[in-house]
Structure 1
Amino acid sequence: MNNFKILSVALFASVSVVNAQDINEVKKQIDAEQFQKAKTSLKSIINSNPSEGKAFFLLGNIYLNQSVIDSASITYNEGLKAKNEAHFNYIGLGQIDLEKKDVAAAKAKFESAKKEMRKKDFEEFIYIAKAYMDNSNPDYKAALAILELAKEKNAAEPQVLLALGDAFYGDKNQNEAFSAYRNAFQADNTLIRAKMQLGVLLKGAKAYKEAVAAYNEVIALSPNYGPVYRELAETYYYWALNVPGRYEEYMKEALSFYEKYMTLTDYSLVSRMRHADFLILAKDYKALEIEANKMKELDKVNPRILRYLGYAAFENGNIEEAISSLQEFINAPGNKVISLDYLYLGQAKIKKGTSADGTTIDPLLFEEATVLIKKAVELEKSIAADLGDIGKDLYGKKLYKEAATIFEIAVTDPESKNYLLDNFYLGTSIYFANGSLPEGQKADPIVLQKADTALGNLITGSPSTLDAYIYRARVNSLADKPAMMIQYYEEFIKVANGSGAEELAKSSTKAKLAEAYNTIAANSDKVKAKEYFTKTLEIDPTNKFATQSLQTLK
């Protein structure tokens, strides 16, 4: 019997060591973003030994990473029943609470996990910090506070230092992040991600050449470490945007490195989704459509696939498929809808509603599109900067009323890089929409005031823009405000005459000056009228209106 007991203890110890080794191998797979391989390994561990609570926890984390929250929740709750290290699963459930913005519930679950910690344990603190960082509403300050507790347990632990680097990076403290990543790698030179993150910091500082050099150092140490190729792809993408002359070259590099990343990780749904996200950034919509259809073969019910199908279908001209895919995605309960979903669906409805010759647009579809585009901007203010192309397309088709509606949404963000230009288009869209109304129909004074305000915003931001003054004068003419009309014509004349000989020599500027002089003259007393008609003839001796008006005034 004693021999049997000794054998049982030895066997149990042996199994525990094997499981620990297996778990450590899974952690390496997760770090290398080989999620499908990690899932398979974890399911095998759970099937062979359901007492391993950490296996449930890590599997739940992968489901959470995949946004399959129901599966994550089920896995964590099963993990709480495990004999060993079940308390880690409270951390996973806490992260789900953070996704739901229920911070109090999350903290309660984190406390439950902490109660089970032994004196020298620190790993729980790392995972709690990651829970604060790896969700839709990251709280890096909370993560840093938790990691201070981990430091108290083991300040030199490489994984603690790595997590600190991530928290400092998220909190935009680049110097502290650099120190933490550097110290983590110095403490453990097999911790490749810490070395890679030094390149990520350089990428964030737009030091793209230096970032690529840093990644090449990582590749020299570990040529099969997949995530470094993803970082290379993203670095070349941003480099391409910042050096327009090398755009094609760098985008080709970016897409090539992403393919390399895919071959070294796995072609699981998670990796394909990351690839799809990158293809959206790279605007490679043909490849996106191929990838989306491959994902559909892997998982016909995953809702995010509908997003990718919708984006790709719109960009590739398949408007009906774009609308059906995006509507199905947006309307399904539980889906995390982002601003681009609303923006793409809005654009698709505009495309569908526009006639083949581009001269008319279905008012109902356009109204639906407007609501969607407003929602997109409400979710993400910076989307306003992307609306100009939609508005300009309508403007070019002389659908001025609809263009004005889009530009009115665009100018709601004063921080937009296109704010001044969008104000110009808003003001002139309203002017053209109201400048050719049917006889007897008057322009809406409230709408014209919007045009006046938009052009005023442009003048404030760019006082030398001549067209801002001329159109503001024209808008006030439509609004039947002669005093304001004359004021802006006079301001136009002043700015134009101060703009230099090259500008004054342009035929377009001469024509606008003649318009200003003639209009002021027509609304002035005889003496001033003669003066301004004479000014017109100085720049345009053949101007019939000025010539005839002067003859009448003699």
Structure 2
Amino acid sequence: MNKFKIFSLALVASATVAQAQDIKEAKKAIDAEQFQKAKSLLKSIIKAKPSDGEANFVLGNVYLNQAIADSAKIYYTNGLQASDKKNLNYIGLGQLDLDNKNAAAAQANFALATKDVKRKDVDEFIYIGKAYTNSVNPDYNNAIASLKKALLIEPQNATALLAIGDAYYGANNQNEAYKSYRDAFTADPTLLRAKMQLGVLLKGAKSYDEAIKSFNEVIALNPNYGPVYRELAETYYKWGRNKPSTAKVNLQNAITNYEKYLSLTDYSLDSKMRHADFLILVKDYKSLETVANKMIAEDKVNPRIFRYLGYAAYENGNVDVAIKSIEDFVKVPTNKVIGSDYMYLGLAKIKKGTNAEGAVDQASFDSGVADIKKAVELEPLVVEELNEVGKALFGKKQFAQAATIFEFGALNKESKNYLDDNVYYGISVYYANANKSNGAADAAQLAKAEEAFDRILVASPTYDEAYLYKGRINNLLEKDDLIIKNYEEYLTRTTAKGAEELAKPATTKKVIEAYNSIGASYANTDKAKAVEYFNKTLVLDPTNAYASQSVKALK
């Protein structure tokens, strides 16, 4: 009987060790971003031992990391029924509360998670810190506070040091992040993510060559650690984007490293979606369309595939497929719609409504603009993607439509195209009104165009042509005093540049325009002044018909 008891206890101990090893393997798979493998391991643990609360919690975290909140909640809720470590699942529910901007509910769940912790327990504080950091609405101060509690108990806990490094990084405290990552790797030299994060800090500081050296040090320790190749890919991509002369080589390096990263993950649908996200980043839309079509053949249910199909179809010139695919995605209330979704939907409708021959389907164009507005509300800096679209419309002389597009960027000082968009917006509004075959000029639009040129002069005081266009705008509005004021300012600034500038044919043409416009503005109030300016034109161009006829009429 005693032998049987001993044998039974040995079996229980053996099963517990195996269970711990399985959890450890699942966590290793998560760190390696092999999420499908992790899910399979965790589901097998739960099936074998439904009372394992930690397995439910970790599986819920995997789903939450993949933005599948409904599945995450199911496993957290199941985990609360477990007998072992069920309290961890309150932390998962707390992160869901944070994601839903309910900080009070999150704190209540975190309090339940820590209510019965023992004096030396640290896992709860580490997981709470991670929840605050990883939430879609992060709270880095509370994350750091929770992780410091763990480190008071175990100062050399590598997992806690890595987690607090992530929190400091999120809070833009680079010095503390660096120290924490360094200490984490010192505490556990097998924790490659900590060493990798030192390279991430260098990447964030735009020290791309140093970041690459750092990542290569990780590869030297373990060439099969997949996440480091993803970081390399993103570093090469950012390097190419920030230094266009290196773009061709660096983008190819980015793609090569991302493919290496994929080869070290599980080729699940999720990893293919991450691949699709990266193809969008490097603007490889031909490959994106291929990948998206392969994914939809595997899984006709996952809605994100329609996003990829829509983006690729737009970039590859198939606007009807783009519109249908993205509309199929955004119309589902449970889908997490981002600014880029509405931007692509809007651009597809705009492209459909403005053909190369100059004809405009105003209803389609207006519908597209409405979607662009939604995109800007969600992500204000999507305006940076609109500059080329506006220039394409401008090139087709669709000036009213171009002005509508440029106005988005003209009002966002944070946009890298802020100055350029204001210039094009003002010019587009001017030409849209100057080219009207009938009807009065739109005074409200022209006033906004003048404001754009005023913004330009604040941002770039030497852009003298702003005064030329302000004069032209007021010409359309028939405001003689402002016509004179702005053209005279243009003449003063241009004359100050010297004889060489004035001798340029393009400058001479504009100076003549200014003289004639000022002359015309004085014609009804000061004939002598009017004749003076028309005569200045005739000095530069003795055959100028408008000036010579005006002089005759005024005498």
| Category of TM-score, reference length = shorter chain | over 0.9
C-alpha displacement at 1:36, in angstroms? Answer: 0.9
How far apart are the structure 2 equivalents of 1:296 and 1:98? 32
Provide the TM-score with structure 2 as the length reference.
0.96
C-alpha displacement at 1:117, in angstroms? Answer: 2.0
Conserved in 2, the CA contact under 8 Å of 1:53 and 1:83?
A: yes
C-alpha displacement at 1:464, in angstroms? Answer: 2.0
* Deviations 1:57-88, CA, capped at 9 Å, x for gaps: 11111111222221111111111112211111
Deviates more, 1:248-257 or 1:18-27: 18-27
| 1:203 corresponds to | 203
How far apart are the structure 1 equivalents of 2:354 and 2:445? 24
Pairs within 5 Å for 1:348-497: 348-355=348-355, 357-439=356-438, 441-497=439-495
| 1:512 corresponds to | 510
Conserved in 1, the CA contact under 8 Å of 2:33 and 2:265?
A: yes
Structure 2 gap segments, 5+ residues each: none
| 1:309 corresponds to | 309
C-alpha displacement at 1:116, in angstroms? Answer: 3.4
How far apart are the structure 1 equivalents of 2:334 and 2:554? 76
| 1:294 corresponds to | 294
Opposite residue 15 of structure 2, the aligned amino acid is V
How far apart are the structure 2 equivalents of 1:388 and 1:265? 37
How far apart are the structure 1 equivalents of 2:354 and 2:36? 44
How far apart are the structure 2 equivalents of 1:100 and 1:330? 20
C-alpha displacement at 1:538, in angstroms? Answer: 3.5
C-alpha displacement at 1:528, in angstroms? Answer: 2.4
Deviates more, 1:211-220 or 1:415-424: 415-424
Conserved in 1, the CA contact under 8 Å of 2:338 and 2:375?
A: yes
Opposite residue 88 of structure 2, the aligned amino acid is F
Aligned CA distance change for structure 1 residues 502 and 225 (closer, same or farther; 3 Å) = farther
Conserved in 2, the CA contact under 8 Å of 1:289 and 1:308?
A: yes
| 1:28 corresponds to | 28
* Deviations 1:16-40, CA, capped at 9 Å, x for gaps: 1111111111111110111111111
Conserved in 2, the CA contact under 8 Å of 1:521 and 1:528?
A: yes
C-alpha displacement at 1:527, in angstroms? Answer: 3.2
Pairs within 5 Å for 1:313-352: 313-352=313-352
How far apart are the structure 2 equivalents of 1:202 and 1:337? 31
C-alpha displacement at 1:308, in angstroms? Answer: 1.0
* Deviations 1:335-361, CA, capped at 9 Å, x for gaps: 111110010000011112223x43122
The reply to whether residue 103 of structure 1 matches residue 93 of structure 2 is: no
| 1:246 corresponds to | 246
Conserved in 1, the CA contact under 8 Å of 2:483 and 2:521?
A: no
Deviates more, 1:530-539 or 1:75-84: 530-539
Opposite residue 368 of structure 1, the aligned amino acid is S
Provide the TM-score with structure 1 as the length reference.
0.96
Opposite residue 447 of structure 1, the aligned amino acid is Q
C-alpha displacement at 1:385, in angstroms? Answer: 2.5
Opposite residue 396 of structure 1, the aligned amino acid is G
| 1:134 corresponds to | 134
Aligned CA distance change for structure 1 residues 114 and 344 (closer, same or farther; 3 Å) = same
| 1:276 corresponds to | 276
| 1:227 corresponds to | 227
C-alpha displacement at 1:173, in angstroms? Answer: 0.5
How far apart are the structure 2 equivalents of 1:322 and 1:358? 22
Opposite residue 6 of structure 2, the aligned amino acid is I
C-alpha displacement at 1:298, in angstroms? Answer: 3.2
How far apart are the structure 2 equivalents of 1:453 and 1:150? 56
How far apart are the structure 2 equivalents of 1:184 and 1:503? 64
The reply to whether residue 68 of structure 1 matches residue 75 of structure 2 is: no
Pairs within 5 Å for 1:138-177: 138-177=138-177
How far apart are the structure 1 equivalents of 2:176 and 2:503? 58
Q: Matched residues, percent identical?
A: 56
Opposite residue 27 of structure 1, the aligned amino acid is K
| 2:540 corresponds to | 539
| 1:55 corresponds to | 55
How far apart are the structure 2 equivalents of 1:342 and 1:200? 31
SS at match of 1:341: helix
For the aligned residues, what is the CA RMSD? 1.6
| 1:529 corresponds to | 530
